[in-house]
Amino acid sequence: MAAALRSGILRHLRLPVQTLDRSRSLSCLNPFHPPIRSMSSHGDDHITREEVVDRVLDVVKSFPKVDPSKVTADVHFQKDLGLDSLDNVEIVMALEEEFKLEIPDKEADKLDSCNLAIEYIANHPMAA
């Protein structure tokens, strides 16, 4: 029954199809023809691990309650920096903003050190 309903609905839907015009510049600023971002399965569009490490450390160092001289890739937010759980949430939110991604609460609760944050972001396909 669900398949029949789906087929019936799809027969009546008309969706616009946009094809890639290779002669058009990808940097076109026309709002009706936004630039097309090429996605690669080779990881070419993904940020490097070194860049992730640098940016995570910068976010943590810029946190108001943190002594920047104590921040390393191995630092634990609560044990080493004396932060509380609310501070941990704020750091995760700052990392989400920095890397333009949304970290689900279940995963965010686990990110309590620079190492774990670096691993999560370095392996996230949408991190920018």
Give catalytic residue positions: 84
Residue at 55: amino acid letter: R
Length of the chain: 128
Classified as helix, coil or strand, 76 is: strand
- Read off the tokens for 70: 């104590």
> What are the angstrom distances between the C-alpha of 121 and each of 9, 20, 25, 63, 88?
39, 31, 31, 18, 16
